Amino acid sequence: MDDIVRLGHGSGGKLSHDLIAKTFAASFSNPILNRMDDSAIFDLSGRIAFTTDSFVVNPIFFPGGDIGKLAICGTVNDLAMSGARPLYLSTAMIIEEGFPVSDLTKIVTSMQKTAEDAGVVIVTGDTKVVNKGCADNLFITSAGIGVIPDGIDISGSNARPGDKVIVSGTIGDHGIAVLSQREGLKFSVPVESDCAPLNSLVADMIKAAPNIRCLRDPTRGGLATTLNEIAAQSKVGIHIEETAIPVHDAIRAACELLGFDPLYVANEGKLIAIVPPDAAESVLNAMRQNKYGHRATIIGTVTDQHIGRVTMKTSLGASRIIDMLAGEMLPRIC
């Protein structure tokens, strides 16, 4: 097989079949995919969650991950934020002519490993090759289906005054990791993306407290934007404490150097949970027992004041409004 992707690999002919067989089918092999039909067929029952997302991160390889790992984690996490147990994924590749097959193989291998870690199966997909200059190396679109257990009602519109706001760990890791790779920035302490599948963490949380109100992963726009979205959806105010928000020293230093606010920097392996006050400690304890939540902490409270807004008590004791991100601070981080 050629060592680069050629336009012929997207023709639907022999080159296409060779690429699919030797790269995708070989890595993603499972009984549903191996039928090689136009649709994946499987059995489901109960309430279903369905999501789709596209990934155009630049660069496609970065400390702590790559575009393939990101695609699987992003799709799994979107399902998990509704309380669903992710089951099946699809993935579609748009590949630029001339892309190295060796890099494609690395990405596909990474996707399969991440899918195995998350306990999901990639059951169908598609491949397109476009002329050089018509894409930026590789774009991935993925979709996923999961089952929501009975009695679970998790939504951004469910927050109530008095609820506690929990974040699962340090913020800003992914955005700074991607930026540092893209711009060739070097820090004295290694900076890595937090990219991770969070469905096992969510399952532990639901087991501890099935009445969790809201779950969100603060990706583009970061913690601040996601909290604003929840406040608007639920028609509540949210008050957070700056000193309670966990940020790695290296990320904080990088943000100060570059003029960024960690509150607005993207994450790909963290979640925000809004939980009733009487469930907060049990949820927190469950999170800290999971490798993806060992630094979980309560950072604030839902209030009936400043409806639709997020306010923060700063480290100096003052109070400030935390607005939603107005523009694109870190382009191409997912």
Q: Which whole-number Å values give the CA distances from 213 to 24, 152, 164, 302, in the listed order?
A: 38, 9, 10, 11
Q: Which residues of the chain have pLDDT under 50?
A: none
What percent of the chain clears pLDDT 70, i.e. is strictly above it? 100
In the β-sheet with 164-167, what is the strand arrangement from edge to edge? 214-216, 272-275, 164-167, 297-303, 237-241, 310-313, 319-322
Largest CA distance in the chain: 67
Boundaries of CATH 3.90.650.10 in the chain?
Answer: 164-322
pTM: 0.94
Query: E strands, 168-280, where?
Result: 214-216, 237-241, 272-275
Superfamily for the 7-148 domain: PurM-like, N-terminal domain (3.30.1330.10)
Q: Tell me which residue of 232, 215, 108, 99 sits closest to 152, measured CA to CA.
A: 215
Boundaries of CATH 3.30.1330.10 in the chain?
Answer: 7-148
Q: In this structure, are residues 296 and 215 in contact, taking their beta carbons and an 8 Å threshold?
A: no
pLDDT, tens digit, for every residue of 268-310?
999 999 999 999 999 999 999 999 999 999 999 999 999 999 9
CA angle 265, 267, 269 (to 5 degrees): 165
Q: Which whole-number Å values give the CA distances from 266 to 87, 177, 193, 246, in the listed order?
A: 26, 10, 10, 14
Q: Which whole-number Å values give the CA distances from 300 to 159, 171, 197, 305, in the listed order?
A: 13, 15, 25, 14
Peptide bond between residue 161 and the one before it cis (omega within 30 degrees of 0): no
Class of domain 164-322: alpha beta
pLDDT, tens digit, for every residue of 183-228?
888 887 889 999 999 999 999 999 999 999 999 999 989 999 999 9
